[in-house]
């Protein structure tokens, strides 16, 4: 099975928070992980924010960033280019999502078109999961 991870779900692999155990169990059953290139900036920003606010110690921060960067090399990443614009236009008009969420959903839909494998969309954001389900994606966790 292939899964697309938005940043909210992806972070749960590297930082202990509610839902992390479920993400780790789910992750172990996957054949591959797909992501949008924007997830890199979002994840690095989240790690830094959590370190600055004291949620992550320096040691945990360093380990999370190191593990994330090592995994990044194994992900199938969708670049954000103008070829996504028609899909971004449609999704932004159809769903009440923030900008990066629209990019995540469009990226996942593009990946789904490319793969014949079972495909799931992973997000910790319920609004984004509802939009993904409305677009015909199976979600994790289920909506």
Q: Domains in the chain: how many in total?
A: 1
DSSP 3-state of 114: helix
Span 122-133, pLDDT tens digits: 999 999 999 999
Segment 51-74 shows an average pLDDT of 97
CATH of the domain at 49: 3.40.50.1010
pLDDT confidence tier of residue 10, bands split at 50, 70 and 90: very high
Question: What is the distance between the alpha carbons of residues 141 and 128, in angstroms, rounded to a whole number?
Answer: 11
| 29: pLDDT strictly greater than 80 | yes
Reply yes or no on whether the pLDDT at 118 is more than 80. yes
Q: How far apart are CA 109 and CA 128, in angstroms?
A: 13
Q: According to the model, what pLDDT value does residue 56 have? A: 97
Q: Left, alpha or beta for 98 (phi > 0: left; psi -120 to 50: alpha)?
A: beta
pLDDT at residue 21 tops 90? yes
CA distance 121 to 5: 6
DSSP, collapsed to helix, strand or coil, labels residue 2 as strand
Hunting for tokens 């079972």 — which residue is that?
Answer: 118
Strand pairing class (76-78; 32-36): parallel
Mean pLDDT of 76-83: 95
In the numeric block, the tokens 């054949």 are attached to: 31
User: Binning pLDDT at 50, 70 and 90, where does residue 115 land?
Assistant: confident
- Which structural domain, as residue segments, surrounds residue 40? 2-140
**Is the link from the previous residue into 127 a cis peptide, with omega within 30 of 0?**
no
The pLDDT of residue 81 is: 95
- As a whole number of angstroms, the distance between CA 46 and CA 121 comes to 20
Q: What is the pTM of this model?
A: 0.94
């Amino acid at each position: 099975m292939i899964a697309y991870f938005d940043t909210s779900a992806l972070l749960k692999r590297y930082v202990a928070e509610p839902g992390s155990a479920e993400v780790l169990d789910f992750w172990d059953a996957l054949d591959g992980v797909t992501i949008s290139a924007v997830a890199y900036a979002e994840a690095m920003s989240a790690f830094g924010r959590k370190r600055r606010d004291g949620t992550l110690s320096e040691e945990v921060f360093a380990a999370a960033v190191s593990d994330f960067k090592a995994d990044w090399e194994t992900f199938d990443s969708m670049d954000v280019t103008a070829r996504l614009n028609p899909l971004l236009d449609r999704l932004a008009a159809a769903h009440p999502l923030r900008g990066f969420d629209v990019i995540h959903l469009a990226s996942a839909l593009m990946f789904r078109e490319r793969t014949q494998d079972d495909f799931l969309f992973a997000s910790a954001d319920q609004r984004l999961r509802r939009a993904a389900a409305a677009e015909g994606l199976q979600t994790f966790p289920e909506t």
